[in-house]
Amino acid sequence: MKFLSILLLSIPLIHANLQVAFYNSSCPQAESIVLSVVQKHFSGDPSITAAFLRMHFHDCLVKGCDASILIDSTKKKSSEKAARPNLTVRGFDIIDEAKTSLEASCPSTVSCADVIALATRDSVALAGGLNYNVPTGRRDGLVSNADDVNLLPGPSFSVDQALQSFTAKGLTLDDMVVLLGAHSVGVAHCSFFEDRLDNFQGTGAPDPTMDPSLRAKLISTCGSTKNNDPTAFLDQNTSSVVDNQYYSQIIRNKGVLQIDQELALDRSSAGIVAGLASDGNGFLQKFADALVKMGSIEILQAHWSHACLCSFSVAWKLTGIMEEDNALELLQRYRRDRRVLLNFILSGSLVKKVILPPGAVSLDDVDIDQVSIDYVLNCVKKGEMLDLSEAIRLYHDSLDYPSMSNTGPLEEFFLVTRTETSGSAPTRAPPPVPISTSSPIISNLSRSESFHSPPHQELTVDDIEDFEDEEEDDETINSLRSSRQQSSEAAELSLLLPLFSTGITDDDLRETAYEILVACAGAAGGLIVPSKEKKKERRSRLMRKLARVKGENATTTSDHVSGMVALLETMRAQLEISESMDIRTRQGLLNALVGRVGKRMDNLLVPLELLCCVSRTEFSDKKAYIRWQKRQLNMLEEGLINHPASGFTELGRKANEFRILLKKIEDSESLQPAACEMQRTECLRSLRELAAALAERPARGDLTGEVCHWADGYHLNVRLYEKMLWSVFDILDEGKHTEEVEEILELLRSTWRILGVTETIHDTCYTWVLFRQFVITGEQTLLRHVIEHLRKIPLKEQRGPQENLHLKGLRCTVEGEERSQAFTFLQSFLVPIQKWADKKLRDYHLHFSEGSTMMAEIVTVAMITRRLLLEESEQTTFLSDEDQIEGYVSSSVKSAFSRIIHVVDAKADSVHEHMLAMLAEESKKLLKKDSTIFLPVLSKWHSQAAVTSASLIHKLYGSKLRPFLDRADHLTEDVVSVFPAADSLEQYIMAVIANACGEDVLDDYCRGKISPYQVENISGTLVLRWVNSQLTRILGWVERTIQQETWDPISPQQRHGISVVEVYRIIEETVDQFFALKVPMRVGELHCLYRGLDNALQVYTQHVVDRLVSKEDLIPPVPALTRYRKELGIRAFVADLRSTDERRSHQSVDLRLTNERFHQIDALSTQSLCVRLNTLYYAITQLNKLEDSIQERWTRKKNENSNINRPMNGKSRSNVAQQKIAFDGSRKDINAAIDRICEFTGTKIIFWDLREPFIDNLYKHNVSQSRIDVLMESFDEVLNALCDIIVEPLRDRIVTGLLQASLDGFLRVILDGGPSRVFLPSDAKLLEEDLEILKEFFISGGDGLPRGTVENLVAHVRPVINLHSYESRVLIDDLRNITQGSRSRFGADSKTLLRILCHRTDSEASQFLKKQFKIPKSVA
């Protein structure tokens, strides 16, 4: 019983595991096809997400996820679609569209249940949910009852009531709460909740749990009219987005439906709702998991490698979804399956008893093709005896009438057959009750759906050996079903040969081919008519395979029968020839040789001899005989009249005579038996005389000897030979050769003489058969055989002249839609192969998405076929191989790019990224996939294939990008999104081109064939605008911060001013923003930023020193030179006068400065000056860090965006050097400012702060009475104050400034001390000692300034002190020498000597100054 339940088309529900990527092998593009359809509709109507969620939910919670919601109602029965809850379900048209696209690519493969699940997933992802994996492999159900829909939970259910519906399907409370989150999208009709607004549960009052504001809003939406039914969003916030806002709203009593609000109020579910409301990402994951779990409810698992074709409407019935060729091939496969089923039933113990028809001794005498399968199944179900005569009668009765449909009004019927191919109308009246046989497959399905008979006990069958059930598992039968899956591509692949005017079918060709094969085998001595006993013992090879255990060899040694007999038996099974037909053919051919001594069987006119030698009594049914006879007559007409290679001598008359004879033989069947036999015999005799001279004549071409050309038209011959070649495939595994393939091919050689086949014709036909079988089964190993035999087909120069002449004569004319076209033999067979391969390769991205192995072999097939056809072509110009490959690349890339655009357009509204940015990323992925998978294959035929692909993608994307570039004038969000993606794509394109053609020729190629996007240049311009605006902002910030600066230290640890921190903060923010710009940049933009920041820091530095007064404002004017008055009595008076002069001199300083200047100088305290210095030092240290940071980030940015198409490599090193010194302007200004403030600070301390003790009173009146040591305490205080504030790195610089100012003050005292100071030669030693004290103070025993630094500065004071040690006479002599043009003995200048003499008290000096320089005496 096990095999029956598998083979019958009625299979009970099977709950089994689904799997992700179920269609990867049978229909790899299935999910992408569904996605493209959903995306197209979602872009115009985002509400389809809610529609699909509702459809999926309503389908799964009724009878499981079986697409039963799609089935239309009939006149007698309403389907689920007609149930009230489903009246508002929509989206059926989108499922139809997706299914139509799937059927075009993968006929009868993807189930509608899987389409619903995939469409739901895709719409959820587009609406903001997760793009989760959907397990597939569901089978569509065939039962749909509207009453079952009442199981769905209603909108006013309580949580407990709703939970019962969910738990009945294996779902939990958590699953229910999560799945109701689908109410985050979509709407509800007011009729579902209007009672909550004003009459909740008949109370006459609104639902107290509904938020008043929501109630008011819903009342406004629904209105007061009862004539329509408006809708309201279930999610009041994000009604088109799958998110957790729904739960947040029902927590706030804003649930629209009662069941929604109950979730938040019920104690069992409230906690789950709260958790989902607080975890948005968690909800999305749980929602995806719940949809997957719901999608597995009571699934009907597909039993082979594809799911069933859904049959939810007339559109998906056999007559509606397939072209005529597809339907024909499907019916032929149905017939084959029918034989398998009947063989199984009749060979087992399922039938109580079998009554054979008259004349039949055993089942071997019965043609099972003429047995009604419905009658047999009914007998099995009812346990009745099987009367094969009745089964045969019912089968032929069903053929007497055209198929009809009574789906219209009562008493109305419509023909569903094609009138042009249906033949004449029946000659007798129809029966009173019409029998519809519109589709055997659909009929069997409907019958099998109700077939649930209990297991039967063991039954016996007369004259039938019990079938041995050897526990074969399901996989054998599954593989059998899988091998019979027919792709729509096979229908597109047909030979370019003329149609048969007699209506010869594939079955006719197959049976005639076997008859010829038997004749050829008979010529070799292999024709044996098996006895009844041996037939009874023998099993078909198919039955042996069905009975063996999995893994056992197909046949054992004991099963093999050696010789021609066994081989013919194998081929009979492969060609699906019944044993009764086999026996008739063998016996007929043997009878034809009786009395013909020396006549070979393969020289017979096979159809004519069989007509003469096979009697109608050998058929169990008259109609079977009539069909057999019609086939033989059609073969004679096609071969000798319609398409002969050499016509009749008297063409018209002979042809008419021949047709008249054929017609008479056919019409004789309507006569009385005696008259029928007489007319038939007479016509056959005349037919033999007419055809003999034409059938037996010398051969043409390279065939020699007398050969029977009974089918002289070569296209009929090759069609017959094609049918013979199909026998090399295992009937149970059509993708594999049978075990006896070599022997079969050798046997077929014996038919070459009768069919006019040569080695070239054989290789061509075998190539065609192998290729078509590959298209049907998808078995890749067949492609290797195709390539092998393609390479065996010789080119013209490899063929002999006789063979070329023979092949040249094999031409035929095929009628097209617009005109007829002539084809040579090779063109008839190879052009379809080339067109099929070209079609695949012109969109190889779609057809070979999973890998390149098969593609490589398809390319080889296409290119070899192309070379063979080029020789057959009469064209003088043709494309090279490289041009052909470029055509494949160009066409496929354009198609793939077009699909990408549709995908991106669909996503554009649901994501924040700009469409062009997404398009650039997808284009880059496309080129990467092209480069890694496809182009290595194509590059074997065209080395520059990668260049073609990359250039085309560059051009296609450029056409979309150019308008955007033309409109870009600011760094908007879109620009920042698009520019980097476009630049990255262009860089990758250039890298691919460089890798293919070499970087040395890249520039030349780009100049000739590629127009750069110029993204970097346009982006650079926009970045410059942005940088300039930011720099203006920085300068304004510098102005504000410097105005607010008080020059107080921020803290004891941060002893700089606050303004510099603010300036650097805004600078660093600008730099961060600059590098955050992900747009392409040139080094020029970086330099612009550098220059702007450098200028800002220079402006800041200038502001720091702008508040300093001039150094001259601090230093008092130099007193006028006077000579000393000698009178001792007046010294005291002179001293007083000098004091007065000095006071007046000081007053003169004060008079030079305004009050504002005095206040300004006083405000420049030592602390504020030190804070300025610290601030500048902070600026220069941060400048170094800023410089390093910019350099590092720029290097990283350029490394991340390395671009080989821009000749930057030679400039980058110089750019680095320039960048390292880019801030030298501000660095130089800061250092100069530090030096200036240090100098100013020292000058102010000495000449302003310490003016009185130092400048005014040091050495006043007498050197010995006012030595410098009295100033050291003040110096120490000043130095301590400086060191407490100044930062350590600047300590030496400011102390050095103080030392320098001290030495300047010391020189001022000893050279320009005024009339109050007198220096004698003996004072020189004291001055030297004071200078040493000053020096050691600044050295401080090694803790101060370096000794060398101090010594260097002190060195220029020592010569002046040394001059004080000389007598006035010596100094006068030296001064005279200088004034007379000689050099000074002491290296002094005249000004220094003059000033020293002005401070001498001797008369000699006074007289010299008076006489020589007219210097006045001190004021008396």
Token pair belonging to 1251? 């003016």
DSSP line for 1349-1361: HHHHHHTTTHHHH
Based on DSSP, count helices (H) and strands (E) in the chain, helices before strands: 61, 16
Catalytic site positions: 58
**Number of residues assigned to the chain:** 1420
Type of residue numbered 235: D
537 alpha-carbon distance from chain centroid: 60
Whether 925 and 57 have beta carbons less than 8 Å apart is answered as: no
Residue 311 counted as an annotated binding residue: no
Token pair belonging to 712? 């002289």
Type of residue numbered 672: Q
Residue 741 counted as an annotated binding residue: no
Residue 80 counted as an annotated binding residue: yes
525 DSSP 8-state letter: T
Residue 59 counted as an annotated binding residue: yes
Token pair belonging to 1089? 């930023």
* Phi, psi (degrees; rounded to nearest 5) at 730: -65, 125
Where do the DSSP E strands lie in 311-383?
A: 354-355
* Phi, psi (degrees; rounded to nearest 5) at 736: -120, 150
Whether 726 and 514 have beta carbons less than 8 Å apart is answered as: no
Whether 789 and 829 have beta carbons less than 8 Å apart is answered as: no
Neighbouring residues of 652: CB distance < 8 A, sequence distance ≥ 6:
none
Whether 1074 and 1029 have beta carbons less than 8 Å apart is answered as: no
In the numeric block, the tokens 């004519």 are attached to: 608
* Phi, psi (degrees; rounded to nearest 5) at 139: -110, 145
Q: Which residues of 12-31 are buried (b: 16+ CB within 10 A; e: fewer)?
A: eeeeeebeeebbeebbbbbb
Strands 414-415, 404-405: pairing kind: antiparallel
Token pair belonging to 1280? 């301590």
| Residue from 1335, 1334, 1318, 1393 nearest 1363 by CA | 1393
Residue 64 counted as an annotated binding residue: yes
Alpha carbon distance 699, 207 (integer Å): 98
* Phi, psi (degrees; rounded to nearest 5) at 948: -60, -45
Type of residue numbered 304: W
| Residue from 184, 161, 177, 167 nearest 54 by CA | 184
Whether 1008 and 944 have beta carbons less than 8 Å apart is answered as: no
Residue 243 counted as an annotated binding residue: yes
* Phi, psi (degrees; rounded to nearest 5) at 909: -80, -20
The sign of the torsion formed by the CA atoms of 991, 994, 1000, 1003 equals negative
In the numeric block, the tokens 């617009």 are attached to: 818
Strands 386-387, 354-355: pairing kind: parallel
Alpha-helical regions (H) of 70-170: 92-105, 112-126, 159-167
Residue 369 counted as an annotated binding residue: no
Alpha carbon distance 140, 112 (integer Å): 6
| Residue from 1022, 916, 1018 nearest 959 by CA | 916
DSSP line for 1326-1391: HHHHHHHHHHHHHHGGGTSS-HHHHHHHHTTTHHHHHHHTS-HHHHHHHHHHHHTTPPPTTS--HH
Alpha carbon distance 1270, 1241 (integer Å): 22
In the numeric block, the tokens 């496929």 are attached to: 892
Alpha carbon distance 941, 26 (integer Å): 29
Positions at the binding site for substrate: 153
Positions at the binding site: 59, 62, 64, 66, 68, 80, 153, 183, 235, 238, 243
